[in-house]
Chain A
Amino acid sequence: MMLAVDIAGIKMKTPVMTASGTFGSGPEYADFVDLNKIGAIVVKGTTLTPRDGNRGRRIAETPAGMLNCIGLENPGVDEFVSRILPGLAAYDVPIIVNIAGATTDEFAELARRLSVPGVAGLELNISCPNVKEGGIAFGTDCASAAAVVAAVRRNTALPVITKLSPNVTDIVSIARAAEDAGSDAVSLINTLLGMSIDIRRWRPELGNVLGGLSGPAIKPVALRMVWQVARAVKCPVIGLGGIMTANDAIEFLLAGASAVAVGTANFVNPRASVEIAEGIRDYLVERGIKHVSELVGRVNENI
């Protein structure tokens, strides 16, 4: 029980979630890890209609990280609700659906269609760097972000988490705008926009030219932003960005995150989310700390 947390009404056995786009909808990894031991699964970005995603090469490895430009490939919300969601009922783990609309109305409609039993919460993807319409356009402007959150808020009673982009000048102002518009929590960071070039062919490695950088390379940036946002908002903060180990996760908790999400690490170690939770528990036991919440935001800047 020392790891159990309640994030905006979503009750989790551990504060370690899986990040959207890195864990499918969960069963993809069921051979390797007990899904019932994960804090929450955040399902791959879901749109109103099916999307094929981007053409060409979609991933490239970079130092201590990777770039991706998947482009929100997904079967669409109706297919998710009718075909995928029923299968997830077999697991005792909260399912949070990441949603991406091309317009504010689409976000609202997605929220409405996903307000069904089996969905524990919604994560608003206003930070995808890989699609032309929607996505990050909503996440780089306070008014647009607030409009999306408000529209979703009016169409669902589910807990709403807004996923923030690091590709902005001032992430704190976007976080505040989301909170003021009714977001129950914020999650950060989505990927950092990046690029890599094949010097043999003089071409970008990715089919979409640019992609989102993830993995341990982005952890210091993510940690900094989590620390800044956690000091500025009252709602819970979910920290993510390059978390590979329990020690990484503990840094995010100390910086002010109430929960964390594991993304790219799943590709390297399918058991990462559970092993990180076990590592946090060991850390608490070693130090005689009764509950993980006692770590949240406790970094002491007075050196």
Chain B
Amino acid sequence: MSKIVADGIVIEHFSLAPMIKRLTLGAPAIARAAQPGQFVHVRVGEGYHPLLRRPLSIAEVDREVGNITVIYRIVGQGTALLASLPPGEFVDCMGPLGNGFDLNTERPLLVGGGMGLAPLLFLAKALCPKPVTALMGGRTKEELWWRNVFLGVCRSIHVTTDDGSMGRKGFTVNLLPELLENCKYDRIYACGPLRMMEGVARLARDKGIPCQISFEDHMACGVGACLSCTCAGTDGKRRKVCSDGPVFWAEEVLEL
């Protein structure tokens, strides 16, 4: 699995929801190597401001055509600049970086919140045709445009919203025990807010189901050199989110 720096050409770039964009880049070598859970480190523009690369989860891959797709939220100057790039422009990509999800599962359950659903989309597609169940949460139904993105990829989709405007009212962790009662999952994958992942990991542990989570953090290098994104492992040793993760076994990094 080789990591490279390559210019990706913008193939397709459009809005999925307010402030959310879906960007498809032609980057064959990265597409060939990418595993679900990995990310690309993207340089936006050639000037010195913004200076650093942006880590973006790989949300979809088309190995045959040689495309990778990222889904991102416009949060600052870098992503705003990225959002302005039309098809035909080039984006300097470093990747695929990090370690991906363990795919050794027959009955997977994916639990995601917010932009944490982006890497889970790649995972869901990679696990097909295995029966994938997705549980996704958002504050309101406006945030759950994700459901349409996952339709057709998953056997079943469960939704929670904080305000009850779509699916079950409450958080994903409120609905999760029910799902675990009704079906025997052999693996749970979670990505989203830390508190959500902790809640999911606890329920998974109680049921004896192996659980992987994916972290995000501010990072500069993306390869384990700058130590901007380290976290404490439960064994007392430090972990680098960029290069040891971003995917970890839950008990490796969460005190449950």
How far does the Cβ of A84 sit from chain B's closest Cβ, in whole Å? Answer: 12
How far does the Cβ of B161 sit from chain A's closest Cβ, in whole Å? Answer: 24
Asked whether B3 is an interface residue with its Cβ less than 8 Å from the other chain, the reply is yes
**The one of B78, B225, B230 that contacts A266, using a Cβ cutoff of 8 Å:** B225
How far does the Cβ of A134 sit from chain B's closest Cβ, in whole Å? Answer: 18
Nearest to A55 among chain B residues (CB) is B232
B3 touches A28 (CB 8 A): no
Residues of B contacting A52 with CB < 8 Å? 232, 238
Asked whether B175 is an interface residue with its Cβ less than 8 Å from the other chain, the reply is no
Known: A31-B3, A52-B232, A73-B230. A24 touches B52 (CB 8 A): no
Known: A32-B4, A271-B5. A244 touches B48 (CB 8 A): yes
Residues of A contacting B53 with CB < 8 Å? 267-268
How far does the Cβ of A207 sit from chain B's closest Cβ, in whole Å? Answer: 10
Nearest to A219 among chain B residues (CB) is B48
A188 to B223 Cα, complex, angstroms: 25
Asked whether A119 is an interface residue with its Cβ less than 8 Å from the other chain, the reply is no
B225 touches A215 (CB 8 A): no
A63 to B78 Cα, complex, angstroms: 12
A215 touches B226 (CB 8 A): no
Residues of A contacting B227 with CB < 8 Å? 21, 44, 53, 58, 70, 73
How far does the Cβ of A299 sit from chain B's closest Cβ, in whole Å? Answer: 23
Main secondary structure of the interface of B (DSSP, over half): loop
B3 touches A64 (CB 8 A): no
Residues of B contacting A61 with CB < 8 Å? 50-52, 78
Contact string against A for B residues 211-228, beta-carbon threshold 8 Å, 1 for contact and 0 otherwise: 000000011111111111
Residues of B contacting A29 with CB < 8 Å? 223, 225
**The one of A28, A75, A216 that contacts B221, using a Cβ cutoff of 8 Å:** A28
Asked whether A125 is an interface residue with its Cβ less than 8 Å from the other chain, the reply is no
Asked whether B43 is an interface residue with its Cβ less than 8 Å from the other chain, the reply is yes
Nearest to B92 among chain A residues (CB) is A269
B48 touches A64 (CB 8 A): yes
A298 to B206 Cα, complex, angstroms: 70
How far does the Cβ of B125 sit from chain A's closest Cβ, in whole Å? Answer: 26
B48, B49, B230 interface centre (most CB from chain A within 10 Å): B48
**The one of B2, B48, B51, B243 that contacts A28, using a Cβ cutoff of 8 Å:** B243
Residues of B contacting A228 with CB < 8 Å? none
Nearest to B229 among chain A residues (CB) is A58
Chain A residues 175 to 215 lying within 8 A of chain B, measured CB to CB, are: 215
Chain A interface category by residue count: 35 or more
Chain B residues 20 to 72 lying within 8 A of chain A, measured CB to CB, are: 43, 48-53
**The one of A28, A64, A75, A244 that contacts B49, using a Cβ cutoff of 8 Å:** A64
B2 touches A70 (CB 8 A): no
How far does the Cβ of A131 sit from chain B's closest Cβ, in whole Å? Answer: 13
Known: A28-B243, A268-B43, A270-B94. A216 touches B51 (CB 8 A): yes
Residues of B contacting A22 with CB < 8 Å? 221, 225-226
A21 touches B4 (CB 8 A): no
A235 to B94 Cα, complex, angstroms: 39
B4, B223, B225 interface centre (most CB from chain A within 10 Å): B225
A70 touches B4 (CB 8 A): no
How far does the Cβ of A7 sit from chain B's closest Cβ, in whole Å? Answer: 23
A59 touches B94 (CB 8 A): no
How far does the Cβ of A41 sit from chain B's closest Cβ, in whole Å? Answer: 11
How far does the Cβ of A222 sit from chain B's closest Cβ, in whole Å? Answer: 15
Asked whether A68 is an interface residue with its Cβ less than 8 Å from the other chain, the reply is yes
Nearest to A64 among chain B residues (CB) is B48
Residues of A contacting B78 with CB < 8 Å? 61
Contact string against B for A residues 252-277, beta-carbon threshold 8 Å, 1 for contact and 0 otherwise: 00000000000010111111000000
A63 to B226 Cα, complex, angstroms: 19
A215 to B52 Cα, complex, angstroms: 10
Contact string against B for A residues 76-114, beta-carbon threshold 8 Å, 1 for contact and 0 otherwise: 000000000000000000000000000000000000000
Residues of B contacting A66 with CB < 8 Å? 51-52, 220
A232 to B238 Cα, complex, angstroms: 43
B228 touches A58 (CB 8 A): yes
A68 touches B49 (CB 8 A): no
B4, B94, B243 interface centre (most CB from chain A within 10 Å): B94
Known: A24-B225, A44-B227, A52-B238. A59 touches B48 (CB 8 A): no
A70 to B223 Cα, complex, angstroms: 16
Residues of A contacting B218 with CB < 8 Å? 57-60
Interfacial residues, chain B to chain A (CB-CB below 8 A):
2-5, 43, 48-53, 78, 94, 218-230, 232, 238, 243
Pairs A-B, 6 closest by C-beta atoms: A24-B225, A64-B48, A28-B225, A31-B3, A59-B228, A267-B220
Q: List 26 A-B contacts (CB under 8 A).
A: A21-B227, A24-B221, A28-B243, A31-B2, A31-B4, A32-B5, A57-B218, A58-B227, A58-B228, A59-B220, A61-B50, A68-B228, A73-B238, A75-B238, A217-B48, A244-B48, A264-B220, A266-B221, A267-B53, A267-B222, A267-B225, A268-B43, A268-B51, A268-B53, A270-B94, A270-B223
